[in-house]
C-alpha cells in the first residue's frame, strides 16, 4: 500500500466489515466492554504536522566580571547549527550597555578577596591521616588572595549575559480531532510519516483559514474544521520565538470513527486507522 487511494480502499473495506458485523470483539476489548453495538461509522480525516527543529530557552543574567573573562566572552560565538539542533551556549547581550565599575568583590582590601582555598580563614587542616595539625594556607596571606573576579586590577564590568539552551524538536502534532489520542499513538513523534499522505494545506483554499476550508474532505473522509485549525497552529508556531522550525510538513490522516454503545447503555468510540508501519490500528475511547 503506497498511495492514498489504496489506503482509502483499505479503510473502506474495514468500514464494510464493521457494517457486516466484524471487529465486534476487538472493539469491545478496546473499549473495555463485554459487548458493544455499532451506532454509526464516520469517515473523518485530520492533519498531522511533522515539525522538525529545536526548542530554545533563553534567559539573561547580570554578571560582574574582570577584563580577561569579559574579553573571552566577547570572543565566544554561538556553536554551528547541528542536525539535531541541540546546543548550549552563552553570549553577551548587546542590547544592554556594559558598565565599568570598581570591583565589588575586593572592597575591603582592593585587589584582594577572600582566599577560595581556605575560605578566608588563612589556615587549613592537615589532610595527613592521623594528624590534626593546622597549616598556614599556601595560597594566601591572612586569608586574602588575589581577587578572583578582577584578577587584582580592582576594575570590573557589569555585563548582561544571555544563556541559550536548545533542545531537539521532533513532533508529529495531530491537530485536535475526535481521534487525536489514538492517532498520536499510531504516529509517534519518532517516526516519519508516509510521504504519499503529504497534503498541501494551501491548495485547499485560496484564502487562508476561511470558512471555505471547513467541511472539505479527503477522498470522502471529512476534514471537518481541521484545515482551519492546522493553519492556526502553524501561525502560532511561527510566531512563537522559542520554536526554531527547520521543516514543517503536513499530512492528511483519514480514519474511521465508530460510535458504539455498551450493553449497559454507555457510549463509547473506537478509532480505526492505518498506522505508521502501515498496519491496521484500533483504539477505543
Nearer to Zn ion by C-beta: 152 or 209? 152
Select the span of 4-12, 28-36, 139-147, 253-261 touching Zn ion (CB under 5 A): 139-147
* Residue 71 CB, nearest approach to Zn ion (Å): 16
C-alpha–C-alpha distance, residues 227 and 250, integer Å: 10
Name the 3-class secondary structure at 5.
helix
Work out which of 12, 58, 84, 105 binds Zn ion, going by CB under 5 A: 105
Work out which of 27, 118, 159, 257 binds Zn ion, going by CB under 5 A: 118
Across 69-88, b (16+ Cβ under 10 Å) vs e yields: bbeebeeeeeeeeeeebebe
Question: Would you mind telling me the total number of residues written for the chain in this entry?
Answer: 285
C-alpha–C-alpha distance, residues 282 and 269, integer Å: 11
* Residue 135 CB, nearest approach to Zn ion (Å): 10
Nearer to Zn ion by C-beta: 14 or 137? 137
Q: In the chain, where does DSSP find H-type helix?
A: 4-19, 24-30, 67-75, 180-186, 226-239
C-alpha–C-alpha distance, residues 250 and 48, integer Å: 6
Residue 85's Cβ-side half-sphere holds a number of Cα atoms within 13 Å equal to: 20
Cell 473506537: give the residue: 270
Over the window 37 to 66, marking each residue x when it contacts Zn ion by CB under 5 A and - when it does not, the resulting string is ------------------------------
Cα of first residue to Cα of last residue in the chain, in angstroms, is 27
* Residue 119 CB, nearest approach to Zn ion (Å): 8
* 228 binds Zn ion per the rule CB under 5 A: no
Select the span of 7-15, 17-25, 145-153, 207-215 touching Zn ion (CB under 5 A): 145-153
Residue 262's Cβ-side half-sphere holds a number of Cα atoms within 13 Å equal to: 16
Over the window 148 to 177, marking each residue x when it contacts Zn ion by CB under 5 A and - when it does not, the resulting string is -xx---------------------------
Closest CA to 201 of 177, 233, 238: 233
Select the span of 33-41, 54-62, 106-114, 194-202 touching Zn ion (CB under 5 A): 106-114
Work out which of 44, 103, 228, 257 binds Zn ion, going by CB under 5 A: 103
Work out which of 90, 117, 216, 259 binds Zn ion, going by CB under 5 A: 117
Beta strands in the chain (DSSP E): 36-65, 87-92, 99-102, 112-114, 123-125, 134-136, 144-146, 155-174, 216-218, 221-224, 243-262, 267-274, 280-284
* Residue 62 CB, nearest approach to Zn ion (Å): 17
Nearer to Zn ion by C-beta: 155 or 262? 155
* 115 binds Zn ion per the rule CB under 5 A: yes
* 114 binds Zn ion per the rule CB under 5 A: no
Question: Which residue ranges make up the site for Zn ion (CB under 5 A)?
Answer: 103, 105-106, 115, 117-118, 137, 139-140, 147, 149-150
Amino acid at each position: 500500500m503506497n498511495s492514498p487511494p489504496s489506503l482509502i480502499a483499505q479503510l473502506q473495506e474495514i468500514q464494510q466489515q464493521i457494517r457486516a458485523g466484524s471487529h465486534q470483539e476487538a472493539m469491545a476489548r478496546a473499549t473495555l466492554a463485554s459487548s458493544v453495538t455499532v451506532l454509526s461509522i464516520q469517515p473523518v480525516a485530520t492533519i498531522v504536522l511533522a515539525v522538525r527543529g529545536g526548542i530554545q530557552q533563553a534567559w539573561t543574567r547580570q554578571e560582574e566580571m574582570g577584563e580577561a573573562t569579559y574579553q573571552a566572552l566577547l570572543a565566544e560565538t554561538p556553536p554551528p547549527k547541528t542536525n539535531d539542533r541541540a546546543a548550549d551556549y552563552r553570549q553577551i547581550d548587546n542590547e544592554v550597555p556594559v558598565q565599568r565599575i570598581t570591583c565589588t568583590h575586593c572592597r575591603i582590601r582592593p585587589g584582594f578577596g577572600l582566599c577560595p582555598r581556605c575560605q578566608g580563614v588563612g589556615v587549613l587542616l592537615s589532610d595527613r591521616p592521623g594528624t590534626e595539625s593546622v597549616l598556614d594556607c599556601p595560597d594566601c596571606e591572612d586569608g586574602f588572595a588575589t581577587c578572583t573576579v578582577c584578577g587584582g586590577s580592582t576594575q570590573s564590568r557589569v555585563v548582561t549575559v544571555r544563556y541559550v539552551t536548545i533542545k531537539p524538536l521532533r513532533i508529529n502534532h495531530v491537530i485536535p480531532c475526535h481521534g487525536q489520542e489514538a492517532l498520536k499513538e499510531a504516529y509517534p513523534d519518532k517516526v516519519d510519516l508516509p510521504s504519499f499522505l503529504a497534503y498541501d494545506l494551501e491548495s485547499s483554499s485560496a484564502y487562508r483559514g476561511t470558512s471555505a476550508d471547513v467541511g472539505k474532505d479527503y477522498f470522502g473522509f471529512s476534514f471537518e474544521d481541521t484545515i482551519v485549525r492546522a493553519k492556526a497552529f502553524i501561525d502560532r508556531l511561527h510566531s512563537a520565538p522559542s520554536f526554531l522550525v527547520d521543516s514543517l510538513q503536513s499530512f492528511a490522516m483519514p480514519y474511521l470513527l465508530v460510535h458504539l454503545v455498551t450493553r449497559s447503555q454507555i457510549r463509547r468510540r473506537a478509532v480505526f486507522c492505518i498506522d505508521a508501519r502501515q498496519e491496521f490500528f484500533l483504539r477505543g475511547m
